[in-house]
Structures are given as C-alpha cells and as structure tokens.
Amino acid sequence: METKTEILVVGTNGPILATVLRLLNSNEAWNATGVSAVEEVISACESKPYAVVLIGAGLSDAEEADLMARVLQINPDIHVIPHYGGGSGLLFAEIYLALAGGANN
Amino acid sequence: MAQTVLHTADSRGGADHGWLKSYHSFSFAGYFNPERVQFGALRVLNDDSVDGGMGFGDHPHDNMEIISIPLEGSLQHKDSMGNLATIEPGEIQAMSAGTGIYHTEYNKDKSKAVKFLQIWIFPNKRNVEPRYDQVKIADAAQPNQLVQVLSPNADDAGVWIHQDAWFNMGNLETGTSVDYQIHKKGNGAYIFLLEGQIEVNGQQLNRRDGYGIWDTEGFSIRATTDAAFLIMDVPMEF
C-alpha cells in the first residue's frame, strides 16, 4: 500500500479550515490534518513526519514566523508554505509546487 | 532591457463545467502548469462565462485581493459581510478576502450568460480585515485614452486593494496609440487584450492574448484594429 503524503494545515477560521481539509483529502495521495494554533503545529510535527505545513488564515505575522522557524528546527525537510485564496483555486498548485521543492521561501 | 512573456489565447488552461466555461491564464483549480503560475503578484486571470440562472454557490476565500470585471451580462454578489450587489459592464468589484469571507456569485438573468474576468492579486499583507468595494468606471472612460480602474490608494480613481498594483483599461480606435509608464520601480505590466488587435512595442497581440513586460519603465500600445484591453501593473517581487 502506497504511503500518503502527510499535510498539516493550520488556520483559525474553522469553516475555511474544514473546506481546505476536505479539498486536500479529496486527493487519494494526500492525508491532511487540521490544527488552529502554533503550539498544536509544533506538537504535531514532533509526533509525525509531515511533508507540508500549510499556513492558513488567522495567525499573526509573528506567529507565522515563529511557526516556520520552529517547524524547520524540528525537520528542515518539511515544506512550510503560506496558503492563499481559501479554497480550491490555488490549493493544489501550492501543494504540487511545495512537493517539487519550491517552498520555504 | 525589457523582458517579456507572451501567453497566446489558445495556450491558456481551460475548464468546462457545463454551466461554467473558464479559461485560465495561470494555473488554477484543476489546471496546473508549473511554467504558468503567476506574473509577479498577479496570480489568477480567469476569463469566465456563466450560463443564465447559474452561478457559484457559497464558497470561502482568504488572503487574496479578488477583482471582478464584467464584460457582458450581470453578476450578483452576496457575502458574509452582508453585502448584496450586482455588477455590470462598466463597473469593477474588489474584495479583500483577508482573514476570511464567504460569498456567492450568481447570474440572475436566465436569458443570457454573464462573461467576466476574475483576477486574483497576492496581498501585500496577510490577514487584513475583509472588505468589499464596487465602483462605476464607465463614466470615466474616454476613447483613445487609458482610464485607471484600480490602485493601492483609497482616494484614487477606481477601486483600491492591498497591493502596489494599478489597473488601467483602454479602448483604442484603429491606428491610435497610447504610452504607458510603469507606476513603481520593480513593477511589471501584464496586458490582456479583450477585443481587437494591438501591438505592444511592436509585438502583435490577438483577442484574449496576454503579454507580460518588466524591467522597463514603460511601453507603447498601438491599435491595429479597434481594440479594448486591460493593463495590470503589479509588483514582480512582493
């Protein structure tokens, strides 16, 4: 059985987070999990090898910077990327590009 | 020296959902082309047609500046901030999705399709307060001149967004020309030809072609037929 790509999504807007997770999990190759705070991201990344951390809406600039630094300290191979758009429009391209190595910038 | 990129109309991605036909100048939804992701801060340029009586149900957006420009027909917008409005040709709508917004977009006229451009610009700040704006632009339009329809400034002509971007629309008669100066150092311009034929610094464009130009202070547009176009002046780095 092929291993799914693990994606962690963080965002404080519950309905939008749920939409993003539903869209990501519609791809059979991906398994997406959602959390709503930086500490939950850190805890999740310490317990599971995520390939991508997608930063959704609602965190402050400082929280986003803190999250990125701490996640990369746990595992520098994790692609940490901001999400834009809130729905299906850009979501898949963001993940494809991150997995191709275009993240953490 | 100016750098350029030409996206011919027939090279765009496409989606046909029956009631919705869309051409994507850049990767969007099910269309993914790693060579066609964005032009600077311009991330989405969708050329949409929605059948009469149809539309987009309630769906979310966040952290994006979303601009709609109707070309034919009318589009009703209803959002989670309580805005209910209809936009028609000669108007422009801008929405800062920021921390999150839900909206619907419907063509209430069952007798004809609505055709419109939907444009997404990356914001210069994430998680802003969501906002909606709609402005009539037809009154300012003059033949053979550019009319500004979007800027970063609330007190300037057209709608405003959270990005150092400026949009101008032009209607040129055959044989006439206009010069365009890039608004800000580091910006580039993406010209989208709505109708007719034009030349941008000698490069011929046909209907629905897109042409990006950057590392330059300006360019010249000459109409080889009666033509209508949109210039999107956006940061190349942001």
Q: How many alpha carbons lie under 13 Å from residue A42 in its C-beta half-sphere?
A: 12
In this structure, is residue B3 part of a structural domain? no
Q: Measure CB to CB from residue B63 to each of A19, A86, A92 and give the nearest one.
A: A86
Question: Do the beta carbons of residue B169 and residue B191 sit within 8 Å?
Answer: no
Co-location of B88 and B145 in the same domain: no
Co-location of B104 and B187 in the same domain: no
* A6 and B CB contact within 8 Å: no
B85, B105, B138 - which closes a domain:
B138
What φ, ψ does residue B173 adopt, rounded to 5°? Answer: -85, 155
In this structure, is residue B4 part of a structural domain? no
pLDDT in tens, chain B (238 residues): 899 999 999 999 999 999 999 999 999 999 999 999 999 999 999 999 999 999 999 999 999 999 999 999 999 999 999 999 999 999 999 999 999 999 999 999 999 999 999 999 999 999 999 999 999 998 777 889 999 999 999 999 999 999 999 999 999 999 999 999 999 999 999 999 999 999 999 999 999 999 999 999 999 999 999 999 999 999 999 9
The pLDDT value recorded for residue B140 is 76
Domain count across chain B: 2
Residue A16 pLDDT > 60? yes
Under the banding of pLDDT at 50, 70 and 90, the label for residue A1 is low
d(CA B16, CA B161): 30
B84, B110, B138 - which closes a domain:
B138
* Chain A residues touching residue B37 (CB < 8 angstroms): 93, 97
pLDDT digits (tens, 9 = 90+) for B29-78: 999 999 999 999 999 999 999 999 999 999 999 999 999 999 999 999 99
Co-location of B162 and B108 in the same domain: no
* Chain A residues touching residue B129 (CB < 8 angstroms): none
d(CA B82, CA B85): 10
Co-location of B77 and B185 in the same domain: no
pLDDT digits (tens, 9 = 90+) for A26-85: 999 999 999 999 999 999 999 999 999 999 999 999 999 999 999 999 999 999 999 999
Which domain does A54 fall in, by range? 6-99
Q: Measure CB to CB from residue A85 to each of B32, B102, B120 and give the nearest one.
A: B120
Which domain does B227 fall in, by range? 141-235
d(CA A94, CA B136): 34
Picking from A22, A40, A42, A44, the residue whose alpha carbon sits closest to that of residue A32 is A22
For residue B152, the tally of other CB atoms under 10 A from its CB is: 16
**Complex-level ipTM:** 0.92
pTM assigned to the model = 0.96
In this structure, is residue B6 part of a structural domain? no
d(CA B222, CA B235): 24
Asked if the Cβ–Cβ distance from A93 to B100 is below 8 Å, we say no
- Domain with B112 in it: what CATH number? 2.60.120.10
Spatial strand order of the sheet with B203-205 comes to B177-181, B218-223, B198-200, B203-205
In this structure, is residue B191 part of a structural domain? yes
Interface of A with B in 35-74 (CB under 8 A): 56-61, 64
Co-location of B131 and B50 in the same domain: yes
Co-location of B193 and B109 in the same domain: no
The pLDDT value recorded for residue A103 is 47
Count of A–B CB contacts within 8 Å? 78
What φ, ψ does residue B200 adopt, rounded to 5°? Answer: -110, 110
Domain count across chain A: 1
- Domain with A85 in it: what CATH number? 3.40.50.2300
* Chain B residues touching residue A82 (CB < 8 angstroms): 63, 126
B138, B163, B192 - which closes a domain:
B138
Co-location of B99 and B61 in the same domain: yes
In this structure, is residue B207 part of a structural domain? yes
Question: Do the beta carbons of residue A64 and residue A53 sit within 8 Å?
Answer: no
d(CA B95, CA B130): 7
For residue B185, the tally of other CB atoms under 10 A from its CB is: 7
- The mean of the pLDDT values for chain B is 96
